[in-house]
């Protein structure tokens, strides 16, 4: 497609991650002429999707449902794995519980009831799935057991998902413009009718019948983080793309869209203290540290500040980052006993992880940078004396 000032298309999609490309493919299925605007260069395309493991949560009733999505499951995998079930009722209840019942019930119902159908639709676009053994299963009595409702991931993780979606878009004749930053929505008396774009050093206007904003949030805009999330959030590390600066939100608000949802809340995980300020594609999401339920989280005073075992990490991980940010010095250590190190997720074994090891608690207390040794030892003593109540590990 030749793009110039005044070009007219049926649908413009702003963004090029999972949501954006699914919207583009869906519109194309219905016969629309679709143009995708991606602010990033091609090597960094895909927004935050590229920085994920490509894991999907969806409702399924039995093994037969999973085999439909992963037809190449081996007999060995089937016989040695308890995949369990994750019904629509369970999914909906999890959404309500995790959001403290603030989720929009109608939208939540659509998400849940259409989740399996959406997975089969993705499969029809040549997205390949595999069991998420490395992150969502443990061996119990010699058999892998999945937990937390997240069973499958895309082959190749987030980058694999982005590549597959873009390959599908190319086959469908969808044009993607890279390094094309959407600046403003064009409106007339009938509503939104196009997008003003900065592309190849020029500002041009592209007209359309519909515009879909799928440009993510404002994680990489320090001013917006501070304005909406509060003090210290300007100092938080950014998990994902540096291009996620709230452009879509700003454009929508500028033309009168109604702000909606939880503006003072954020998805913020436990993240490597010495990571770069924004996401690093060479590491992806492996700076995250989600095995904290097997240990204790310790702040600068040597104190615990979070109930590590309140639930599976699937239901608590997205708020740990905010809890850590509120601690003195905005950091924490995760402390594990040797008994559980084989259970830690793969991200604990990357070379970029900050890690210390000791043969005693006293030795460890001296190795935890910026942590009060006496406070730490007192906390651990009290913690250990509280006992496990005789429950088996």
**Which tens digits make up the pLDDT trace of 327-358?**
999 999 999 999 999 999 999 999 999 999 99
165 pLDDT tier (thresholds 50, 70, 90):
very high
**Is the pLDDT score of 40 beyond 70?**
yes
Using the 3D structure, point to which of 254, 278, 307 is the last residue of a domain.
254
Residue 313 sits in which domain range?
292-385
Is residue 154 within 8 A of residue 128, CB to CB? The reply is yes
For residue 233 the two structure tokens come to 């959030």
Residue 3's pLDDT is 86
Residues 111 and 176 in one domain: no
> How many C-beta atoms lie closer than 10 Å to residue 118's C-beta?
13
Residues 6+ apart with CB under 8 A from 178: 38, 40, 41, 42, 45
Q: Could you read off the pLDDT of 170-226 as tens digits, one per residue? A: 999 999 999 999 999 999 999 999 999 999 999 999 999 999 999 999 999 999 999
How far apart (Å, rounded) are the C-alpha atoms in residues 324 and 330? Answer: 6
Pair 35, 99 in one domain = no
Residue 270 belongs to some domain of the structure: no
Looking at residue 214, its pLDDT comes to 98
pLDDT at 387 over 90: no
Boundary residue ending a domain (111, 126, 155) = 155
Of 199, 231, 254, which closes a domain?
254
- The CATH number of whichever domain residue 184 belongs to comes to 3.50.50.60
The answer, yes or no, to whether residue 5 has pLDDT greater than 90, is no
Over residues 359-385, mean pLDDT: 97
| 267 located within any domain | no
Please give the pLDDT value at position 134: 84
Question: Distance (Å, rounded) from C-alpha 176 to C-alpha 20?
Answer: 11
- 25 assigned to some structural domain: yes
Band of residue 135 on the pLDDT scale cut at 50, 70, 90: confident
Same domain, 115 and 180: no
Query: In this structure, is residue 359 part of a structural domain?
Result: yes
What mean pLDDT comes out for the span 243-260?
Answer: 96
- 40 shares its domain with 179: yes
pLDDT at 95 over 70: yes
In a shared domain, residues 203 and 350: no
Q: What is the pLDDT of residue 386?
A: 87
Contact between residue 226 and residue 25 where contact means Cβ atoms under 8 Å apart: no
pLDDT tens across 262-286, in order? Answer: 999 999 999 999 999 999 999 999 9
Q: Output the pLDDT for position 388.
A: 64
Assign 3-state DSSP to the chain and report helix, strand, coil percentages, each to 5.
40, 20, 45
Say if residue 68 is in the same domain as residue 97: yes
User: Within this chain, do residues 96 and 219 fall inside the same structural domain, yes or no?
Assistant: no
Same domain, 237 and 219: yes
Together in a domain, 378 and 302:
yes
List pLDDT tens digits, range 138-159: 999 999 999 888 999 999 999 9
223 within some domain: yes
The answer to whether residues 168 and 148 belong to one domain is: no
The CATH number of the domain where 359 resides is what?
A: 3.90.700.10
**pLDDT band of 389, cuts 50, 70, 90:** low
Q: Is residue 1 part of a domain?
A: no
Same domain as 59, residue 34:
no
Q: What is the percent of the chain with per-residue pLDDT over 90, rounded to a whole number?
A: 93
- As a whole number, the mean pLDDT across the chain is 95
DSSP 73-110: --HHHHHTEE---B-HHHHHHHHHHHTTT-S-HHHHHH
Task: Give percent above pLDDT 70 in the chain.
Answer: 99
Least confident piece of the model among 62-66, 134-138, 367-371: 134-138
């Amino acid at each position: 497609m030749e793009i110039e000032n005044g070009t007219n298309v049926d649908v413009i999609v702003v963004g090029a991650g999972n949501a954006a490309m699914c919207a583009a493919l869906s519109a194309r299925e219905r016969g629309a002429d679709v143009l995708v605007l991606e602010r990033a260069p091609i090597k960094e395309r895909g927004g935050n999707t590229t920085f994920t493991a490509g894991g999907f949560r969806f409702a399924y009733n039995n093994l037969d449902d999973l085999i439909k999505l992963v037809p190449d499951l081996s007999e060995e995998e089937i016989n040695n794995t308890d995949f369990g079930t994750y019904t629509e009722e369970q999914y909906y209840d999890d959404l309500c519980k995790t959001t403290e019942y603030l989720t929009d019930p109608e939208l939540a119902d659509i998400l849940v009831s259409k989740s399996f159908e959406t997975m089969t639709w993705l499969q029809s676009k040549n997205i390949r799935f595999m069991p998420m053994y490395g992150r969502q299963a443990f061996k119990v009595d010699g058999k892998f057991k999945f937990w937390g409702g997240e069973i499958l991931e895309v082959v190749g993780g987030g980058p694999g998902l982005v590549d597959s979606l873009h390959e599908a878009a190319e086959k469908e004749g969808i044009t993607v413009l890279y390094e094309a930053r959407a600046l403003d929505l064009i409106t007339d008396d009938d509503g939104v009718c196009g997008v003003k774009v900065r592309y190849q050093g020029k500002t041009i206007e592209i007209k359309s019948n519909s515009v879909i904003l799928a440009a993510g949030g404002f994680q990489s805009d320090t001013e917006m983080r501070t304005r909406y999330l509060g003090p210290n959030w300007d100092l938080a590390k950014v998990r994902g793309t540096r291009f996620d600066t709230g452009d879509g939100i700003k454009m929508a608000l500028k033309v009168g869209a109604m702000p909606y949802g939880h503006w003072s809340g954020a998805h913020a995980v436990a993240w490597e203290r010495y990571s770069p300020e924004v996401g690093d594609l060479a590491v992806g999401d492996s700076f995250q540290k989600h095995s904290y339920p097997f240990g204790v989280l310790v702040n600068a005073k040597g104190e615990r500040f979070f109930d590590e075992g309140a639930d599976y990490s699937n239901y608590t991980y997205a708020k740990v980052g905010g809890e850590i940010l509120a601690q003195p010095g905005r950091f924490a250590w995760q402390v594990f006993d040797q008994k559980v190190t084989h259970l830690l997720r793969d991200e604990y074994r990357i070379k970029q992880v900050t890690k210390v090891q000791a043969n005693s608690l006293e030795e460890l207390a001296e190795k935890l940078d910026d942590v009060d040794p006496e406070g730490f030892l007192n906390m651990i003593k009290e913690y250990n004396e509280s006992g496990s109540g005789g429950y088996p590990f």
